[in-house]
A and B are shown apart, each in its own frame.
Chain A
Amino acid sequence: GAGVSQSPSNKVTEKGKDVELRCDPISGHTALYWYRQRLGQGLEFLIYFQGNSAPDKSGLPSDRFSAERTGESVSTLTIQRTQQEDSAVYLCASSKTRGGGGTYNEQFFGPGTRLTVL
């Protein structure tokens, strides 16, 4: 089956502009995660969605970042008034369900969106 898809693959924007990144999870996966990876750095958790439950926004670095997801489908990550420090690869992952043990929380990543803020 199809994996996680993300669009656009690359985005170049000017400082101060808003950007919207899209993630389409694996069909049947109820949990969706956004991570950020700065050049040469590790993965940084941003936000998590599980079905219709309230999202876990604990990783969002500032109020310029927001994300939405309708049900168990597509998610969008929006960054308002972009700054140069927002330049990174934004990765989306999905898993069958949340937490717990076993294979249900194996996370599968999309190809990422490389964001460059000039």
Chain B
Amino acid sequence: QKEVEQNSGPLSVPEGAIASLNCTYSDRGSQSFFWYRQYSGKSPELIMSIYSNGDKEDGRFTAQLNKASQYVSLLIRDSQPSDSATYLCAVYYSNSGYALNFGKGTSLLVTP
């Protein structure tokens, strides 16, 4: 069983602060890691992908990957109320077919 674990939250941060979302995974054979944002009643939207150890930045978003410790994180700088959503971590395991394994998501609330 390939596990992807996330704290369900809610994580509450004030507007302008940095939001830090974490995800751990169970299998060292994982190759690709993704963060999706899902607004209430909407479908997941891909916001970041990361494949190598280290940091990857895209605008206000930074994804961090540490394969040795089996965790991946997402930092959102200058958080805005519009960032309030559920953030899903997804991991691709090369030995488990071709579907992504999703965590259950962390609910983020950015308060004005």
Q: Can you list 7 A-B pairs with a CB-CB distance of less than 8 A?
A: A33-B100, A42-B105, A45-B100, A48-B97, A100-B94, A106-B49, A107-B34
B105 near A102 with CB under 8 A, answer no
- Contacting residues, chain A, for B102 (C-beta < 8 A): 42-43
For chain B residues 58-112, which have a beta carbon within 8 Å of chain A?
Answer: 88, 90, 92, 94, 97-105
Count residues on chain B whose CB falls below 8 Å from chain A CBs: 24
Give the A-binding residues of B (Cβ under 8 A).
Answer: 31-32, 34, 36, 42-46, 49, 51, 88, 90, 92, 94, 97-105
A33 near B49 with CB under 8 A, answer no
B46 near A33 with CB under 8 A, answer no
Of A65-73, A75-83, A109-117, the one contacting chain B is A109-117
Shortest Cβ distance from B18 into chain A, in angstroms?
25
B98 near A109 with CB under 8 A, answer no
Fill in one digit per residue for A76-104: 1 if any B CB lies within 8 Å of its CB, else 0. Answer: 00000000000001010000001111110
